[in-house]
A and B are shown apart, each in its own frame.
Chain A
């Protein structure tokens, strides 16, 4: 059973986050290991395993990036373990510029502005990704997922700076 089937949802990128959370909570209740406190050792072990699988599935589907990666994996493209490099000069030049800009972030104002611009670019890429996945343009979707991973890295960098500023 794949992660989408577990929640009885169609294997698609578009997904209602509130609906997913609701189904997750319901399943969590029915599977909770405490319900099997009086059951056999085997039942208890099974409940623990199912809960772990459920949590894993929920975390994967909840974030758009990992959901897209998972969907591509179901379609036969495994991005999680690939070692290939990205060679798109224009995109990488923009990444370099982003890194330089992040290095110069030194107050809340420049941090907020960087977050805002970054989130806007991530939204654009996500919209592009949604289109590619809907049309089954999986190779293009994979390229966009790779780009989004770079954007997530930048987001982590900003979060790190934010922590240092607090």
Chain B
């Protein structure tokens, strides 16, 4: 299958690969997996006291589209508030990367990773 140029760019030069300390209170961790293909994605957000995402890192085991989707969202969420980030839709990711229909689940995975990370942050700060 032919990947779009943007997918290849993110796949060959993934942005923000890595990890933060998940026990740090300012770090939100989202873990998601796609049963259809066995891909796993970990997305971590560094959130300041004003609820702004200062930094993001990811680690993804999966196909090129899954890696590109997670790399792209780490770029997109930086500087956004958690409310803005939670409104990101998988269709925006799919459109930006020109994902074919069989790879839409990769963008869903990335959207769900953001949501899972924000849920983790809210649980951490609920007390």
A binding-site residues for B, Cβ under 8 Å: 79, 82-87, 89, 91-93, 95-96, 99, 145-147, 149-150, 152-154, 156
Contact with A along B26-49 (1 / 0, CB 8 A): 000001111111101010000000
Q: How far, in angstroms, from A85 to B42 measured CA to CA in the complex?
A: 13
Would you call B31 and A149 a contact (CB within 8 A)? no
- With CB as the reference atom, state the residue of chain A lying closest to B38: A153
Which chain B residues in 67-89 approach chain A with CB under 8 Å? none
Instruction: Give the dominant DSSP class at A's interface.
Output: helix
On chain A, the residues within 8 Å of B59 by CB distance are: 96
B40 touches A150 (CB 8 A): yes
Min distance, Cβ A91 to any Cβ of chain B, angstroms: 8
In this complex, what residue of B is CB-closest to A99?
B61
Q: A99 vs B59: C-alpha distance in the bound complex, in angstroms?
A: 11
The chain B residue with its CB closest to the CB of A156 is B38
Q: Give the chain A neighbours of B109 by CB distance below 8 A.
A: 85
Spell out B's residues near A (CB within 8 Å). 31-38, 40, 42, 59, 61, 104-105, 108-109, 112, 116
- For A149, list chain B residues within 8 Å (CB): 35-36, 38
Chain B residue numbers with a CB within 8 Å of A92 are 31-33, 40, 42
Assess the A83–B40 pair: CB atoms within 8 A. Answer: no
- Nearest CB to that of A154 among chain B residues? B38
Chain B residues near A87 (CB, 8 Å)? 31-33, 112, 116
Given contacts A150-B38, A153-B38, 10 further A-B contacts (CB under 8 A): A83-B104, A83-B105, A83-B108, A85-B32, A85-B108, A92-B32, A92-B42, A93-B31, A150-B33, A150-B40
Q: Return B33 CB to nearest CB of chain A, in Å.
A: 4
Question: Which chain B positions have C-beta within 8 A of A82?
Answer: 35-36
Q: How far is the CB of A62 from chain B (nearest CB, A)?
A: 21
